[in-house]
Structure 1
Amino acid sequence: MTSAIHRTDTDAGGCPFDPAAVSPTGCPVSPEAAAFDPFDAPYQLDPAEALRWSRDQEPVFYSPKLGYWVVSRYDDIKAIFRDNLTFSPSIALEKITPPSDEALEVLKRYDYGMNRTLVNEDEPAHMARRRVLLDAFTPEALEAHAPMVRRLVREKLDAIIDRGRADLVAEMFWEVPLTVALHFLGVPEEDMEQLRRFSAAHTLNTWGRPSPEQQVEVAEAVGKFWQYSGRVLRKMQAQPRSEGWMYDMIEKNREMPEVVTDSYLHSMMMAIIVAAHETTALATTNAFRQLLSRPAVWDELCANPELIPSAAEESLRHSGSMVSWRRITTCDVEVGGVTIPEGGRILMVMASGNHDPRHFENPDDFDIYRDNAVDHLTFGYGSHQCMGKNLGRMEMRIFLEEFIRRLPHLELEEQAFTFLPNTSLRGPEALWVRWDPTLNPERRDPAVRSAQRDFPVGAPEARTIVRRVRVMRAEPEADGVLGVTLVDPAGRSLPAWTPGSHLDVLLPSGEARKYSLCGPADSGDWRIAVLREEGGRGGSRWMHEAVHEGVELRVRGPKNHFRLDESAGHHVLIAGGIGITPIIAMADRLKQLGKSYELHYAGRSRGSMAFVERLERDHGEVLHRYPGDQGRRLELDTLLAEPGDGTLLYACGPERLLAALEAGTTHWREGSLHVEHFSAEGALLDPAKEHAFEVELADSELTVEVPSDRTLMQALRAAGLDVPSDCEEGLCGTCQVEVVEGEIDHRDKVLTPSERESNDRVMTCCSRARGRKLILAL
C-alpha cells in the first residue's frame, strides 16, 4: 500500500473553494463540507452513502459543524491507523459533544474516573499493556467459549421459535452478547436490564449529541455504571481466582502493578463490557437486516451454510456496527493531499472506507461471495485493531447458523428503522421478523435443533467461499478434452468475469482443481475445458467420468491471478495444449477492443487441440497453429529473438513450455512475460528441512514465532492476525505482505526475479526467512 500521509511544516494552499467558512488552516471550506453534520438524517441512516460525495471529490475535509477533519477513503484511513505516533488515539473516547457543567458535576459526584484504556492510550504504554492482555483473545483460547455462546443463543431461540413473530433485538441480539461479555470477563450476570441501560447511555455520552437535559440524565446512568463496575471488581478481587478474563487481569495487577494498575482494571472492565456487548449486538442486527432484506441471498445462505463466515464478514464490511473512530495529530501532517495542523481532530469514517471502489469492486453490492471482504476496516487496523474481533465473529456466525438451520423461512417485516443518534456506533434499535411456526423444520425432524455446524475461529479464508452451479452441457471439445458449461441452479445470471479468470472445482474428496474460464466472456454462463490426464492425481479423470448434464458442482471463484493488461501496443498470446483455455478468452477480448495481437497455439495433434475450429473462425488472421502430428513446431527462439517495443507476452501450458519461455525472454524488458502456473512444485512445507524464525510485526507491534512445522501464514493467524489468502500454494499472490527488513527464502511462482531481489515482499503461505528474523509491515 502506498501511504497517503506526508508530514509537513507548511499550511496547504491553493484551495479551490470560496465559501465564507474556513478550516483551522485558513483554507476555505467547500459547501458540501460546510453542510456536513453527522447528526443529520443522511449520515445517521447510511454513513457510507452520506459520504459518497467525499470519496469521489474531497476525501479529506474539515467539518465546521463538528470541529473535526473527516477522512473517507480506504487507503487514507488505513494509513492513519498504521501511524499511532503522528495520529494519537488519546481522544478516541473523548466526548464528541462537550459536556455541560451540570453533567460534569454529576460525574464528579459518582467519582467517575474512567481515563485510559487500550482504545485511547498512547505508546509505549499501550503495547506494554496490550501484550499482557492478548493471550485470552487468540483463536485457540476463544474456541473454549463457543459452547457457551451456542447454549445462550439456543436458549433464546427456543423461547420464541413457536411464537411466529419477534423483535430479535429485544429478544436475543442485545442480551446474548452482553451475557457472553460477562461470562468472558467472569462477571456475575445480575442486573442485566440495568447493564443494558448503562451501555446505551455510555454510547450516547461518548459519541452522541445529547441535549443539556439529556446530558444530566446520561451522566447519572454513566456514573451508576462506573459505581456498579467498581463494586463488582472489588468483589472479584476479594475472592479466590476463578474463570474469566478479569481474573487474569487481577492476577496481572498483582504481578506487575506498574503495568496493569488498579484504575486501569476499573476502566478496562467498564470499556470491555461496552465494547464486547454493543458492537456485537449491533453488528448481528445489521447482518440479519441486510440478509433478510434480500430473500434470494438468505435462501442461498440457507442452501449453502458453509458460506456463513463469508456472509458475516461481508455484513461487517457492508454494514458494520463500528462506523467511525477518532485520532488527533501530534504534528502538521498531510493526508490525502490536505494538510491537517498539529492538534487537528480526525474522524475516520471506516463505513465510508469500506465502500471505497478503489479497494472493493462494486462496493455497494452485498456479495456473500466477496473474496476480500476480510480487508474491511470495521475492526480498525494495526496495533489498535479490536482484540475481541474473533469473539464477535464467533457470535455472529453462531446466530446465523442457528437461524438458517431452525428458521430458514424467516422473513423481515415492513418497518421503519430507528437508530441511537451518534457518530460511531450503528444498528437498528429493533428488528421485527415473522415466520410460520408450522413450517419449522424441527417439527418434522427433532434432530434439526442440535444438528449444528461449527466454524474455525478467525477470519474466513477465501477457499471456504463455495458456490453451487449446475452443468448445462458436457460434451467433447477435442480428443481427451471435455467442455463443460455451467449455469446458476436458480436461473440467475452468474457473475461477470475477466480474461485470465479461473474456477476452483471441488472434488468429492474436498480437493480442488483449477480450470480457466474460456468464454465467450459475455455468454452469461461459465465455460471450462478439462483435459483427461491419466497420469494425474485423479481430478480430471473424475471430471470426465462423473460430470454430465444436470450434475451440480461446487466451485470457488471466478478468480483472476492472470489478468490481461489491455494497454499494451501489441500482445503475443502463446498456448500449449489445454493452456488455450485462458488464452482464447484473452484473444476474444483483444479482438473486441480492436487491439493488435497474434496467437500461437501448439498441440500434440490437431484432433487434441480444443477450440481449434472456433479459433480459425474468430481469429484466423492472427492464428498460428502448431499441431505436432503435422510436423509443425513452435520455434520459441525465432519468436522471442527480437523484443517487441511495447509488446506483452501471455502464455499458458505445460511447465516445460513456461520454463522455456522464461529462459528465452531474459533479454526482454522485465515484466513483458506473463504466465499462469497451476502447480506449486517446491512450495510445500517440509518440517524436516525447515528452521524456526521470528517475525516482528511493525504495524501491530507484536513478535510472532514461526516454528519449523508451520507456515508463516499459519503462525500469523494463530496470533490473531487477519491474513487474506486464496490458493495457499504460492500461485496467486493474495497473501503477499510487505517486508521491512530480513532476507526471504522465496518459494512462490508469483514474483519476478527482480521483485525477489528487491526483498520487499513475501508470500506468507509458502515463503520463509533465510535467517532467523523478518520484520513485516503488518
Structure 2
Amino acid sequence: MSQTAATTPGRCPFPHGAVGVSAGSGCPVSTNAAAFDPFSDGYQQEPPEYVRWAREQEPVFYSPQLGYWVVTRYDDIKAIFRDNLTFSPSIALEKITPTGPEANAVLASYGYAMNRTLVNEDEPAHMPRRRVLMEPFTPEHLKHHEPMVRRLTREYVDRFIDEGRADLVDQMLWEVPLTVALHFLGVPEEDMDLLRQYSIAHTVNTWGRPRPEEQVAVAHAVGNFWQFAGKVLDKMRQNPDGPGWMQYGIRKQKEHPEIVTDSYLHSMMMAGIVAAHETTANAIANAMKLLLQHPHAWREICDDPSLIPNAVEECLRHNGSVAAWRRLATKDVQVGGVDIPAGAKLLIVMSSANHDERHFADADLFDIRRDNASDHLTFGYGSHQCMGKNLARMEMQIFLEEFTRRLPHMRLAEQTFTYVPNTSFRGPEHLWVEWEHAQNPERKTPALLDAKVPVRIGEPSGHALSRPVIVERVSDAADGIARLRLVAPDGGVLPRWAPGAHIDIECGDTGLSRQYSLCGDPADTRAFEIAVLRDTASRGGSAWIHEVVREGMRLTVRGPRNHFRFDEEGRRAIFIAGGIGITPVSAMVRRARELGIDYELHYSGRSRAAMAFIDELAQLHGERLSLHVSDEGTRNDFGTLRVDDATHVYACGPARMLDALRSCSEMWPEGALRVEYFAASAGKLDPANEHAFEVELKDSGLVLNVAADQTVLDALRRANIDVQSDCEEGLCGSCEVRVLAGEIDHRDVVLTRAERETNQRMMTCCSRAKGRRLILEL
C-alpha cells in the first residue's frame, strides 16, 4: 500500500490528532507500529521475532516512538544498501537518542570532534578513501594474522580448560577479539578493561537510550576514549613504518593528503577500535550460544570441522551481531511500495531480513548446511559493506575449531541472557558454560592439540556443505555401472531434492571430489541414489568408487544442488539421454509422468547390457520410451524430433551427442534445449591467448583489473568481494553473477543459448569479457 507522508523529521509524519492510534481512528500508523520500541526486552532478546508481524504484514512502517521509518524485508534492505546516493549513510553514527546540554558540554570539554568515517560518509569522499585503505583487509593480507589469533585463542582456553565452568564473554570472547583488533590496528595492547568500558560507552552513546542520569557518565567515557585515540595516533606518527592498519593509513596520508586527513585518522582510530572488535566479540558469543542451544548442530561440527565455515555463515545469518543500521533518504522515494519523504530517517533491520522466508527457505530453522547462508546482510552490502568481515570470519572459525576440539562436551549453564539495550549491536553480556573437566579429550589424547583445520578466508564455498552418509547398498545397474544407495548415519531423512540435482562425493584420501547426478525417486527422503560408470579415461573418481566403495562405508557428500532444473509448468517435454547421462534424466522423466505432462524419452547406448535402468524405465514409461542401441543398428535421429513452442528438450550425455543436439536446436524455438555436460570444455586458462580487461562493480563502487592470466573470480577474491564458488570449471553455476553492461565471452556449460544471448549472466570462474570492460551487479 502506498502512503504519502509529510517531511517533519523525528515526529509522526501523518496529519492527525493523536499519535499511535489505529488507522480506523484517523492515524495511518498501525497499533503495532506505534508500539514498536527497539530498546524493549523483546527486541533485545530476539529482533527477528519481535518484528515478525512487520515482515509478514507491514514490511515498511513509521515508528512514532523512534522517529524513523523501519524496513524489515530482505529485498527492500538490499536495495537500500545498493543505492547509497538515495539512501545516505550519513546518520549511521548519529546519536539515536539526543543527549541533554550537560552531557554535550562534557563531550565538548574533551574536544570531542568525531568526524566522518568509512561508515557514515557520502560520495564522492567515501570510495576514494575506501580504495586507498582496503589492501590490509584482503584475504592474502589477513592470512598473516592467523597464527596470532590461534595463539591467543589457545592461551585463553588454557586458562579455564580445567575449571569445568566459565563465562566465555568475560573470560575470553571479549578480550581476544579486542586484542586482535588492537594488533590489526597497530594499537598497544594495554588498558584492556578500560577500552572495554570505552567501547560499551560508545555503543550506548551512539545506538542506545541512556537515561538522563547516565548521560553525563557516558559522555565522560566517550570523551576519554576520544582523547585516548588521539594520544595513540600521535605515538604512531612517530613510527609510521610500524605494523598495523592505522600506520598504513598514516603512510597513505603522505601519498594522498587530500583523501586521508588528520581528522579522518583520529575518527577512524576511535571507530576502528569499536568496529574491529565489538561486533566480532558479540558475533562469537551469539554463535556459541546458538550452537549450544542446538546440540545436534554442535555435535556435527565437533565430528566434522569442515562444516565450521558454513556454520559461521549460518550463525551470522540466524543470530548476527549487527541487528540494524541506519540510512537517510536524500529524496522522495518508494521502499516496498511505501512513499518515503526526503529527509526521512530509516532503521533497516538486517536481522529481520536474515529471517525473511522470501529469500531463506524455512528461515527460522538453524541449518549449518544452508546453501545460501552467506547471503545474509549482517555485514551490510555494496560499497559500505563491512571491510573487516573476513577478519571476523577468520576469528570465528578459529574460536569454533578450538572449542569443538578441546571442549566438545561443553553445554550451556542455566542462566538468563541480558543485552546492552541499543538498536544495532547485539550480543549477550554473559555466556556461562559448563563441562566435566575430567572428560577433557586432551587428557587422553594430547596429540589432538596439534591438529589444525585450515581457515577459509574470503568468499564462502559450497565445499563447506558436507554431510556424512552410509553406503546402504551397492548393486550393478549395468555392465560397468555401479548403483549406490546412500542413507543418513542415524537413519533420518536427507534433504529434499528436485530432478536434475547432483551431489558431490569426497573420494576418501585421494583429494578428489566428483559430481554425480541423483537418479532415484525424489519422493524418497531416506536415501540418495547415484549410478557411476567405470570410465578408464576419467580423472580417478569413478575408479575409486568401483574399487574402494563397499556397503557399510561412511562417505562424505555435499549438496544436493541443482543447475539442470526441470520446468514443472511445461506442457510437453522430450528427454534425451546418452550412456550414463540417463541418471538425471531418469528422475526428470519420472516426475513428468507423475505430473501428467506429455513426454517422450530417447535413450542411446552402445549395447543393452551397458545401459542402466532399462527394465525399470520400460516398466514405468512403456511406449514413451525409445531405445537407440548402437550394436543393434539403431540411432537417434534428432532431426525427426517435433519441437514446438510448448516443448522443452532436456538432454544429458557425451559431448559429441550434445553438440549435435545444439546444431539441431538452431531450428527450434529459442530456449527449448536444456543440457547438462559431464565435463567442462573451456580448459585451463592460457594467458598467451587472452587479453586483460576491467570489471566495474556497480554496487561496491570498485573497478578491478582482470589480468590475462587471471579469472574474474580471482580478481573478485583479491578485492574482498564475496562470491560463492565450488567447481571452478564452469560446471556447477555457483559463481554466477549478473552482468549490467559489456559483451561476455561465455565459457561455461551451464547457461542455455537463450540465456547467453541475453548477455545478463556469467560464470566468474571461467567466462571473460569479449571487449575491455564489463559492469557487474556486485
- What TM-score comes out, normalization by structure 2 length? 0.94
Q: What does residue 767 of structure 2 align with? A: 767
Q: Distance in 2 between matches of 1:369 and 1:282?
A: 22
> Residues 347-388 of structure 1, C-alpha deviation per residue, up to 9 Å, x if partnerless?
111111112222222222222222222221111111111111
1:127-166 counterparts in 2 under 5 A?
127-166=127-166
Q: Distance in 2 between matches of 1:158 and 1:79?
A: 46
Instruction: Indicate the SS of the match to 2:495.
Output: coil
Equivalent of 1:578 in 574, 577, 580:
580
Q: What does residue 693 of structure 2 align with? A: 693
Q: What does residue 344 of structure 1 align with? A: 344
Q: What does residue 283 of structure 1 align with? A: 283
Q: Distance in 1 between matches of 2:437 and 2:708?
A: 54
Cα distance change, pair 727–160 in 1 and its aligned pair in 2 (3 A): same
| Paired residue total | 768
2:681–2:749 contact (8 Å) kept in structure 1: no
2:418–2:429 contact (8 Å) kept in structure 1: yes
Q: What does residue 680 of structure 1 align with? A: 680
Q: What does residue 253 of structure 1 align with? A: 253
Cα distance change, pair 757–498 in 1 and its aligned pair in 2 (3 A): closer
Q: Distance in 2 between matches of 1:536 and 1:447?
A: 38
Q: What does residue 407 of structure 1 align with? A: 407
Q: Distance in 2 between matches of 1:629 and 1:707?
A: 50
1:575–1:602 contact (8 Å) kept in structure 2: yes
Mean Cα deviation higher: 499-508 or 163-172: 499-508
Q: Distance in 2 between matches of 1:411 and 1:101?
A: 47
Q: What does residue 532 of structure 1 align with? A: 534
Q: What does residue 625 of structure 1 align with? A: 627
Instruction: Indicate the SS of the match to 1:484.
Output: strand
Q: What does residue 373 of structure 2 align with? A: 373
Q: Distance in 1 between matches of 2:5 and 2:689?
A: 49
Q: What does residue 521 of structure 1 align with? A: 522
Q: Distance in 2 between matches of 1:593 and 1:209?
A: 58
Instruction: Indicate the SS of the match to 2:510.
Output: coil
Mean Cα deviation higher: 388-397 or 59-68: 59-68
Instruction: Indicate the SS of the match to 1:235.
Output: helix
Cα distance change, pair 57–600 in 1 and its aligned pair in 2 (3 A): farther
Instruction: Indicate the SS of the match to 2:162.
Output: coil
Q: Distance in 1 between matches of 2:684 and 2:463?
A: 17
User: In the TM superposition, what is the alpha-carbon distance from 1:714 to its structure 2 partner?
Assistant: 0.8
Please provide the CA RMSD for this pair.
2.6
Q: Distance in 1 between matches of 2:537 and 2:259?
A: 62
Q: Distance in 2 between matches of 1:429 and 1:227?
A: 26
Q: Please tell me the residue identity of whatever aligns with 2:130.
A: R
Q: What does residue 109 of structure 1 align with? A: 109
Mean Cα deviation higher: 399-408 or 749-758: 749-758
Q: What does residue 483 of structure 1 align with? A: 483
Q: Distance in 2 between matches of 1:96 and 1:10?
A: 18
Q: What does residue 214 of structure 1 align with? A: 214
User: In the TM superposition, what is the alpha-carbon distance from 1:265 to its structure 2 partner?
Assistant: 1.2
Q: Distance in 1 between matches of 2:498 and 2:539?
A: 28
Q: What does residue 512 of structure 2 align with? A: 511
Q: What does residue 123 of structure 1 align with? A: 123
Q: Distance in 2 between matches of 1:755 and 1:565?
A: 15
Instruction: Indicate the SS of the match to 1:271.
Output: helix
1:21–1:64 contact (8 Å) kept in structure 2: no
Mean Cα deviation higher: 231-240 or 173-182: 231-240
1:180-219 counterparts in 2 under 5 A?
180-219=180-219
2:730–2:765 contact (8 Å) kept in structure 1: yes
1:232-311 counterparts in 2 under 5 A?
232-239=232-239, 241-311=241-311
Q: What does residue 603 of structure 2 align with? A: 601
Q: Does 1:498 align with 2:492?
A: no
Q: Distance in 2 between matches of 1:83 and 1:392?
A: 25
User: In the TM superposition, what is the alpha-carbon distance from 1:122 to its structure 2 partner?
Assistant: 0.6
User: In the TM superposition, what is the alpha-carbon distance from 1:30 to its structure 2 partner?
Assistant: 2.9
Cα distance change, pair 141–22 in 1 and its aligned pair in 2 (3 A): farther
Cα distance change, pair 35–669 in 1 and its aligned pair in 2 (3 A): farther
Q: Distance in 2 between matches of 1:31 and 1:652?
A: 56
2:240–2:248 contact (8 Å) kept in structure 1: no
User: In the TM superposition, what is the alpha-carbon distance from 1:702 to its structure 2 partner?
Assistant: 1.8
Q: Distance in 2 between matches of 1:262 and 1:68?
A: 33
- What TM-score comes out, normalization by structure 1 length? 0.94
Equivalent of 1:543 in 542, 545, 549:
545
Q: Which runs of 5+ in 1 are unaligned?
A: none
Q: Distance in 1 between matches of 2:30 and 2:768?
A: 50
Q: What does residue 361 of structure 1 align with? A: 361
Cα distance change, pair 723–63 in 1 and its aligned pair in 2 (3 A): same
Q: Please tell me the residue identity of whatever aligns with 2:767.
A: S
1:660-675 counterparts in 2 under 5 A?
660-675=660-675
Q: Distance in 2 between matches of 1:285 and 1:441?
A: 23
> Residues 535-580 of structure 1, C-alpha deviation per residue, up to 9 Å, x if partnerless?
3333212211111101122211101111111111122222222222
Cα distance change, pair 73–536 in 1 and its aligned pair in 2 (3 A): same
> Residues 500-547 of structure 1, C-alpha deviation per residue, up to 9 Å, x if partnerless?
110111223222221111121222111111111223333212211111
Q: What does residue 563 of structure 1 align with? A: 565
1:373-522 counterparts in 2 under 5 A?
373-507=373-507, 508-522=509-523
Q: Distance in 1 between matches of 2:249 and 2:240?
A: 13
1:568–1:646 contact (8 Å) kept in structure 2: yes
Quote the sequence identity (%): 61
Q: Please tell me the residue identity of whatever aligns with 2:277.
A: H
Q: Distance in 1 between matches of 2:704 and 2:445?
A: 47
Instruction: Indicate the SS of the match to 1:383.
Output: helix
Q: Distance in 2 between matches of 1:707 and 1:22?
A: 60
User: In the TM superposition, what is the alpha-carbon distance from 1:27 to its structure 2 partner?
Assistant: 7.8
Q: Distance in 2 between matches of 1:754 and 1:611?
A: 32
Q: Distance in 1 between matches of 2:60 and 2:141?
A: 40
1:47–1:352 contact (8 Å) kept in structure 2: yes
1:8–1:333 contact (8 Å) kept in structure 2: no
User: In the TM superposition, what is the alpha-carbon distance from 1:240 to its structure 2 partner?
Assistant: 5.9
2:70–2:347 contact (8 Å) kept in structure 1: yes
Q: Please tell me the residue identity of whatever aligns with 1:424.
A: S
User: In the TM superposition, what is the alpha-carbon distance from 1:629 to its structure 2 partner?
Assistant: 4.2
User: In the TM superposition, what is the alpha-carbon distance from 1:483 to its structure 2 partner?
Assistant: 0.6
Q: Distance in 2 between matches of 1:504 and 1:280?
A: 33
User: In the TM superposition, what is the alpha-carbon distance from 1:8 to its structure 2 partner?
Assistant: 13
1:683–1:767 contact (8 Å) kept in structure 2: no
2:737–2:761 contact (8 Å) kept in structure 1: yes
User: In the TM superposition, what is the alpha-carbon distance from 1:272 to its structure 2 partner?
Assistant: 0.5
Q: Distance in 2 between matches of 1:765 and 1:148?
A: 32
Mean Cα deviation higher: 250-259 or 190-199: 250-259
Cα distance change, pair 207–666 in 1 and its aligned pair in 2 (3 A): same
Q: Which runs of 5+ in 2 are unaligned?
A: none
User: In the TM superposition, what is the alpha-carbon distance from 1:333 to its structure 2 partner?
Assistant: 0.8
Q: Distance in 2 between matches of 1:760 and 1:132?
A: 31
Instruction: Indicate the SS of the match to 1:118.
Output: coil
Q: Distance in 2 between matches of 1:431 and 1:469?
A: 34
Instruction: Indicate the SS of the match to 1:528.
Output: strand
